[in-house]
Amino acid sequence: MPRGPLMIIGGAEDKLRKRRILREFVAAAGGTEARIAVIPTASSLGNEIVDVYDALFRVEGAAEVTTVRPESREEANDPDLVGVLEKATGIFMTGGNQLKLSAIVSGTPIGEAIVAAHQRGAVVGGTSAGASIQSSHMPAFGVGGSTPKQRMTQMAAGLGLLPSTVIDQHFAQRNRYGRLLMIVAQSPQLIGMGIDEDTAAVVRDDVLSVVGRGAVTILDPSRITTNAFDAKRSAPLLASGVVLHVLPQGARFDLRTRELLPFETHVDPLEAAEIEEAGRDLRQMARDIAASDASPSVLRRRLRRTRKADPHPARPDDDPYLDGDD
């Protein structure tokens, strides 16, 4: 059976309007037949973070949403919690403290159940902390900045769903270029992956595709020249020859060969409908100008009056759900 997709989200995914990333997660989990297990262990929030994702996934059509929240390694051995993951078609890990998530989940039956779910075809997704833990290595904590410096961050083990990779999130928003460069300079066998907010790297069969408003940054250090092995304390690092890929929505990248694949432009159906409606309005205005010799300002006022008389129904993606812990 082929492995399931990974959805690696850079945090602060849209929960209010289009919800493009969360909608795609539910679809990958089976849509109206989706059985989703939410793991909020990383979050410092209480039931409210669970309630948010429960409501969001059900609005998108999921049949069942269950919470699996171990708060210690002992609880991560609970067979009842493992049983929930064994039945899930989708597993979603929330944001929060990635070191806490790794310390409680990695190397336990819960962690093994997440890996097994991915291997049997379930989709595994996560935002912020829940993104970083999907890689083989992850930053535990550290400072931001554009220049790589010795000791900018420390590393911890992830679940290894995406091997030979280190993932950082909130990438552009928190200026984490330097610390990802530091990591790949010290460990050139790893691919560095930085994911912006409201952006997801979706990995299927070693091919990464990008969904969302931002970009996924790939650092390939396989030919790096560096002094990381003897730089002192917090000294700036030499990092020459790193191949940089900045991938916006629609871009695809082969993680096995480390090559950009042909670019596929994706048009959101809702955006396409809005563009088509605007085009119809413009064409109608042109016809009215030609027929009645009215000025554009008069016609615009007339169009506004028409829309007020026949308003569009509210969209289902305007539900007022709050942002979670990222």
Of 108, 179, 91, 92, which Cα lies nearest the Cα of 141? Answer: 179
| 3-state DSSP assignment of residue 166 | strand
Residue type, 128: S
Tokens of 300: 């615009």
How is residue 169 written in tokens?
Answer: 């999130």
Q: What is the three-class DSSP state of 141?
A: strand
Residue length of the chain? 326
Distance separating alpha carbons of residues 58 and 52, to the nearest angstrom: 10
The residues, ordered by sequence, that sit 6+ positions from 254 with a Cβ below 8 Å of its Cβ are 206, 207, 208, 260, 261
Query: Among all residues, which ones are annotated catalytic?
Result: 128, 170, 197
- DSSP for 196-235 reads -TTEEEEEETTEEEEEESSEEEEEE-TT-EE-TTT--TTP
